[in-house]
Structure 1
Amino acid sequence: MNNILIKNARIVDGTTDRAKDAVDIMLADGKVQDIGPSLTTSGDVTVIDARDRFVMPGLIDAHVHVIAQNANLKENAAVPDAMITVAAMNLMGAMLTRGFTTVRDLGGATGPLRMAMEEAPIALPRLNICGKALSQTGGHTDQRGPFDSTPVPDWPVPLGALGVICDGEPELRKAAREQFRTGADFLKLMANGGVSSPSDPIHFLGFSRAELIAAVEEAQNTGTYVSAHLYTDAAILRAVECGVHSLEHCNLITAETARLAAEKGCIACPTLITYDKLKSEGASMGLPAASIVKVDDVRLRGMESLSIMQDAGLQMAYGSDLLGGMQPHQSGEFELRGRVLSSQTVIQSATLIAAKLLRMEGQIGTLMPGAFADTIILDRDPLMDLSVLSGQGESINTIVKGGEIIKHNP
């Protein structure tokens, strides 16, 4: 951990529609210590001159699957835990290279895996987890097809499995409590049909209202919230009415439901890049044919959903939701959203709004004093050109995570 003084920092953090006037930022003991003009230093301090560059808080991806090394999730669940652990470390290392200093895992990563990542020999993003996502029999993450009579896997399931199957309130409550027992920060439900599973058309509703309400109660009992996988308007409306807070995907949302979600204080997390890449690369990456057929059901309405949610005042966090070999496209979501939304709004999604969703406001997604010393320095102004955030971090000059310099090109 270094004490670092960043000089001449023009900050872009989503709070303004232009880069702020140059200031100095002092990072000490892993936190932002001070910010202001002409800061002075004493002792052992690394000085980084950000003149002619732009400084952002570390990015936040609020929808990843760090254990998904294979787009075929049934095959992924069969990979030995040791191999999944190494793959997760490699995937997370690449995420940090792209400037993501915090990621929220939406199914698969467990408390023990997070502990292992914190002991990894390389720097990795901060990891926020739900444990295993909860699915009903035949729902999203139930990878058994219609002719597969394999019994429902017992708990604990393999590390490579995204979810656990539970039916009825007693099973759901027990599964939820197991996630919290093993370190989950929040709870994830599969409340709608999905693309990457074989037996649930997109329009299927996952869980009963009573089960959804039970899950919300279990989350509230531990002081946290429920996230749900949702595509159709009927599923989104039902989830909002039952108290779900984090609305994943939302491709088929209507204006009326978006307004209600905004009134309830929900946050949406669109993940458009995953459908774009599932369409173009899914088959070559191992996605089953039955899943490929379902992609267009949600892909074609994705861009429209951004406008609907923006107009309704429903806040949106940044998410990618990529699987297997498509994971390197994580930063492509910036430019996709930029076709519809302002650059400031897109940047907010990966800073302020994502931090709010993770309930880490003031700690991440900002460069105010007291926040974690997570920052990236860019060669170009992202408010003028979102493509500076794309690719594999080629345009990121410097990455600092928790006060540790991960990358720096003087």
Structure 2
Amino acid sequence: MDISRVIKPWKLHPQRTLVFVNATIVDPVQGELIQNATVRISDGKITQITTDGPASTEDVPEEDVIDVSGKYLCPGLIDCHVHIAVVPGEADLRAYKDMTERISLLRQPRVLKSMLDRGFTSIRDCGGASLAIKEAVEDGVIPGPRLFIAGYALSQTGGHGDMRGSHNAQLCCGGSLSGISRIVDGPAECYKFAREELRQGADFIKIMGGGGVASPTDRIEHVQFSDEEIKAIVTVAQNAGTYVTSHSYTPQAIQQAIKLGVRGIEHGNLVDLETVQMMAEKDVFLTPTLIAHVMSKQMNFLPADGAAKNDEVLEKGLKAMKMAVDAGVTVCFGSDLLGPMHFAQSKEFSVRSSILTPLQILRSATVNAARLVMQEDCLGQVKEGFVADLLVLGKNPLEDITILDAVEEHVLGVIKDGRVATSRWDQLKVDPRP
């Protein structure tokens, strides 16, 4: 008897050795295709890539040698801004005030599996995901992308993370939870609860550095935390070897954050030229999330005050992202979809395609994103020694990035950690789960 499988009956089977022959590798670093490659994966890693003729496959069962002639091997995708805790089940944002953490947690596996099926082998959750769900994926209890989590985002009273309306007189104590955020005020609380998030498994810290669309009592142009508060949070993160990212739309909020050592900016729809130049100079990452604004408008997801703010940032978001890319800012892929909108995750590729090149967009979801999550030495490329996170695509994404928005037609296979998680192609066998 394998006692480890009695203790953890969900323990995944060891990875097969798979060999992909006649492969065309998509290289997002050079923006090139590597033709006629043989790619061997074993123990969850890419162990060998050869391009100087066929490699030996005598040691591999015939069914595990996969001829991908006419197909493309692409790195697994990374979405750098999700909220898996805001699950489907309600039609608009107002209804979510009554959703409990237990209800959310029971629905999160469905959200995670659908993301993996779309080709997202890693995700960065910017508020709400717990260590428990991250470990459930790591242990094999449920299928899903690997998670990099912020725990609860940190917000000031009346800031973007404070979901109380103006007529709600209930006071929040230090560290009180409000949706996917904690309410903290003053440097002392910022020190304490940044440390608390790290203690509870956060990989990085997310702050609400400026006003937001979905919050009821702040305006987009508001600058929120004080310099002293942000300094406290940045100090905690840096002491722990990690970083802070900030929800910020305006030049004022963004400049305040990056001057104080914040490493990432979420959204950034209202940036100006001076701000993106400062971001480029300081190597600050930008993660736009345009599809969230598109879908919020289409699905009437926000209350009237939020809808008006959404229209403002949606109109300027594409221009802001193009300005940032042209200035040399490292731009990452993000979706930020809530509730019933998670299905539209891949549509961010099509939204961006109106102003950016396919290579720029692919980099945002692979090598740029890998740098942001501090995994550039193992994620984001099809490269020897890297984690075997691969997509088998029916068409070349460097010619048309919108194929990644046509998942059922063009994402033929999703391989995570060397295991075939999803297959829409009869030549690729899905690895069975215990």
Q: Conserved in 1, the CA contact under 8 Å of 2:28 and 2:381?
A: no
Shift, 1:155, TM fit: 5.0
| Counterpart residue number, 2:4 | none
Instruction: Tell me how far apart the structure 2 counterparts of residues 238 and 154 of structure 1 sit (CA, whole Å).
Output: 24
Shift, 1:261, TM fit: 0.9
Shift, 1:49, TM fit: 1.4
Deviation string for 1:218-248 (max 9, x for gaps)?
1001001100001011111111111111111
Q: After the TM superposition, which residues 252-271 of structure 1 pair with which residues of structure 2 at under 5 Å, given as runs?
A: 252-271=270-289
Q: Conserved in 1, the CA contact under 8 Å of 2:175 and 2:183?
A: no
Shift, 1:157, TM fit: 3.7
Structure 1: runs of 5+ lacking an equivalent: none
Instruction: Tell me how far apart the structure 2 counterparts of residues 73 and 243 of structure 1 sit (CA, whole Å).
Output: 32
SS at match of 1:300: helix
| Counterpart residue number, 2:127 | 107
Q: Against the structure 1 CA distance between its residues 166 and 156, is the aligned structure 2 distance closer, same or farther, given a 3 Å change threshold?
A: closer
Shift, 1:51, TM fit: 0.6
C-alpha RMSD of the superposition: 1.7
| Counterpart residue number, 1:295 | 310
Q: Against the structure 1 CA distance between its residues 195 and 163, is the aligned structure 2 distance closer, same or farther, given a 3 Å change threshold?
A: same
| Counterpart residue number, 2:48 | 34
Structure 2: runs of 5+ lacking an equivalent: 1-14, 428-434
Opposite residue 332 of structure 2, the aligned amino acid is A
Deviation string for 1:250-276 (max 9, x for gaps)?
111111111111111111111111111
Deviation string for 1:180-223 (max 9, x for gaps)?
00000100000010011101110111100111111111100100
Q: Conserved in 1, the CA contact under 8 Å of 2:177 and 2:183?
A: no
Shift, 1:80, TM fit: 2.8
Instruction: Tell me how far apart the structure 2 counterparts of residues 221 and 258 of structure 1 sit (CA, whole Å).
Output: 27
Q: After the TM superposition, which residues 5-404 of structure 1 pair with which residues of structure 2 at under 5 Å, given as runs?
A: 5-37=19-51, 38-45=54-61, 46-69=64-87, 75-76=95-96, 78-119=98-139, 121-152=141-172, 157=177, 161-281=179-299, 283=300, 285=301, 287-404=302-419
Q: Against the structure 1 CA distance between its residues 368 and 348, is the aligned structure 2 distance closer, same or farther, given a 3 Å change threshold?
A: same
Identity %: 37
Q: Conserved in 1, the CA contact under 8 Å of 2:27 and 2:34?
A: no
Deviation string for 1:303-350 (max 9, x for gaps)?
101221012111101101111111111011112111111111110000
Q: Conserved in 2, the CA contact under 8 Å of 1:135 and 1:164?
A: yes
Q: Conserved in 1, the CA contact under 8 Å of 2:25 and 2:72?
A: yes
Deviation string for 1:270-319 (max 9, x for gaps)?
111111111111x2x4x322211210121110110122101211110110
41-50 or 68-77, which deviates more: 68-77
Deviation string for 1:165-193 (max 9, x for gaps)?
00000011111011000000100000010
The normalised TM-score by structure 1 is 0.95
Q: Against the structure 1 CA distance between its residues 207 and 239, is the aligned structure 2 distance closer, same or farther, given a 3 Å change threshold?
A: same
Instruction: Tell me how far apart the structure 2 counterparts of residues 18 and 25 of structure 1 sit (CA, whole Å).
Output: 17
Instruction: Tell me how far apart the structure 2 counterparts of residues 360 and 375 of structure 1 sit (CA, whole Å).
Output: 16
Shift, 1:109, TM fit: 0.7
Instruction: Tell me how far apart the structure 2 counterparts of residues 9 and 317 of structure 1 sit (CA, whole Å).
Output: 27
Opposite residue 155 of structure 2, the aligned amino acid is S
122-131 or 94-103, which deviates more: 122-131
Instruction: Tell me how far apart the structure 1 counterparts of residues 142 and 132 of structure 2 sit (CA, whole Å).
Output: 17
Q: Against the structure 1 CA distance between its residues 320 and 197, is the aligned structure 2 distance closer, same or farther, given a 3 Å change threshold?
A: same
Q: Against the structure 1 CA distance between its residues 237 and 190, is the aligned structure 2 distance closer, same or farther, given a 3 Å change threshold?
A: same
Instruction: Tell me how far apart the structure 1 counterparts of residues 91 and 127 of structure 2 sit (CA, whole Å).
Output: 14
Moved over 4 A (4+): 70-75, 153-156
Opposite residue 25 of structure 1, the aligned amino acid is V
Q: Conserved in 2, the CA contact under 8 Å of 1:258 and 1:309?
A: yes
Which structure would you say has the larger Rg? Answer: 2
SS at match of 1:356: helix
Q: Against the structure 1 CA distance between its residues 88 and 94, is the aligned structure 2 distance closer, same or farther, given a 3 Å change threshold?
A: same
Instruction: Tell me how far apart the structure 1 counterparts of residues 349 and 197 of structure 2 sit (CA, whole Å).
Output: 31
Instruction: Tell me how far apart the structure 2 counterparts of residues 288 and 223 of structure 1 sit (CA, whole Å).
Output: 39
